[in-house]
Structure 1
Amino acid sequence: MAICCFFLFRNTLYYYLSDKRHVVEFQVDPFFSLTKSIRVKYPVVIGNTIVLLVDSLGFTEKYTNIIEHEKFNKSIIDSHNSNTFNKYKNIIFILGESAFRDRHSVYRYSKNTTPEMSQIFSQSNSCIINNVHSPSSITRDAIPMLFSFAKPDDELPLLNEKNIIEMANVQNYKSSWISKNGESGPHSSKYSIIAKLSNIFIEDLQDDLQLPQQLIDTDFQNNEKNFIVIHLAGSHKPYKLGYDETDKLSLPDGDDYDLTVYHTDRVIKQIYNILQEKLDDFILIYTPDHGEIVNLGHGLLRKSKEFSNQYEIPLMIYSTYDNYPCKEIETYRNNNQMINTSNLVYLLSNLLGFSVNIDPSFIQNDLILSVDGQSYDYQTHIKQYQK
């Protein structure tokens, strides 16, 4: 019996440590990471017995403290930017999921997957931005770098400094986070500590098409100022769960992934119509957490000619105020003419009325956080895995 247990433990440990993602997941949520691997490898009785043993060891999740922070990031000079303070009173950020840029017709894809986005983001003071990539290829790591000052090589600002939701609250915006997804557990706890600081927090819906009604139900139009994040399920696998019959009829030549993009397009149009009806002025930003290697997924470390697709994303901005957001974002391009969306936090800070002093190295040192838990130069990382 002892020999059997020894070999069982050895094989489990070898299987677990052979995948770097297991090690990174363990640092976030040890219990989830271990039990997921155990249940994959072992049948029900043995697996459940080991899970009970793991549970008895008392492992806990890393990102559980939802606290308000006292300290601002060092890039924030003061809270009264003379050019933007109290100017942009309605800021709406639609956060997509697993959206590969080159499957959007607005980025010249051959199938008409984004007819509504093409119209919305082609208007005056709006922009469809090229050469943009995410700071990570998984949701858990990408979203904290959109809404906090965490960087691929430094997560401490996420844990120790005010994030964008807190900064919106400081400036007397009514903050709302409305998500189709359940914003808890190992894949989302790292950013749920941001989301749950919102004045209004809504999660765990059945379909992205329910998000517009949830937005209406917040009565946001009655607030003097709004900062709203709307988090889609978007184009996450399995793709068949991300579209409906309307999408199939409207885009008969589209594959499963195309139909999820078309579904997102419909959701964005509905949200846009609501904003147009209920607000005089607003800024609407759309970008996903990361891209997708279509039919394979994301968060992958394998050599492929499509490796970079899991980082390549759309970024679009609509504004009824002026063209400041579109002009400002262009100043975030590095020497390779790329924009890393980890730097969107500076645009959001400016829009919220803060004065910002950006360290130029954050723009030029174009880092990503890999699923192995290490930070790398984006171009170097892509070349390493791109066949």
Structure 2
Amino acid sequence: MNRRIALLGSTGSIGRQSLEVIAACGMTAAALTANRDARRMEEQCRAFSPELAVMMDPAAAADLRVRLADTSVRIASGMEGLLEAASLESTDTVITAVVGMVGLKPTLAAIREGKRIALANKETLVCAGELVIAEAARFGAEVVPVDSEHSALFQCLQGCRDRGEVRRLILTASGGPFFGMDREAISLVTKEQALKHPNWSMGAKITIDSATLMNKGLEFIEAMRLYQLPPERISIVIHRESIIHSLVEYCDNAVLAQLGAPDMRLPIQYALTWPERTAAVAKPLDLLSCPPLTFYPPDYEAFPCLDLALKAARTGGTATAVLNGANEAAVGLFLTDQISFGEIAERVARSMEAIPVVHNPTLEDVLAADEAARSAAAE
């Protein structure tokens, strides 16, 4: 299977693992994009020889041009370059592995070219899910999830003839590094503690979201949009071992689960090869060495970000864009030591209270809500 892929966010954690899968499966990386890590981008370009490399930061793009002067790789920069990579005529698949709202416009651009979207960018569906899914249907683009939880749901739904047979989707959550602690203790944790996820290796922003459980709230909203189900038909369970990645409960009480080792290369590979399966890149799951599988209800009092996300999901409209924008801004402040861990939820809550919700929003409404939320959270 020789897919030609544009990989948006190639130097991040998901991007690097995606390149492992691309190489192992004999696929082609036709375009690579990154923010500002020119050194790593140079290494990737020399290994994969893409026709286009994009750096969001113009200074990094200038640096990369010097580094790759002896190659035929074309260099571009900024959002214009990102949109070009997403809609490149020679590609059939776009992996959106960038973090944040920056992924929305290039995802829409790729959809309008009818490409397969291997979606690893939560914000696209959280902030503008109705628009994205409607555009995908209009242009015949496939949206296949890369997140381990959504890939699990996607796989468990393959045998479903009709969504009416589905009683509920069950998202699993590891609980993060602060499982079992109370709200007061959690509010005082350090950045170093928050960046130590018990099971997964991820980028800093996603790791903090996993520590606050905002990540699971964003996935809840994603599931609503991707599978077009109301919030009352989606639930969350804490599963510390990260062996069961999510489950689907059917109307006859049958429950299907997807199990695997905590290895992101498995859902990345499936997003690229679906509806086929190919030889494994990810490590296998050894059932005989698995620990006992445990399940707990979420603690919404100790993890208020999760409660805020579910409230935004039930409200709908631009409430989810406000939630996401405020959270991105607050996490950025925490990672730069400007606020405490407990203040992340406080700033998100204040932003949600302050910014009016627009229902049935346009793309402009979504972008305006995002900008307003970031400003409110930063004040």
Fold match, TM over 0.5? no
Greater Cα radius of gyration, structure 1 or 2: 1
Q: TM-score, normalised by structure 1?
A: 0.26
Higher relative contact order (CA 8 A, sep 6+): 1
| Higher relative helix content | 2
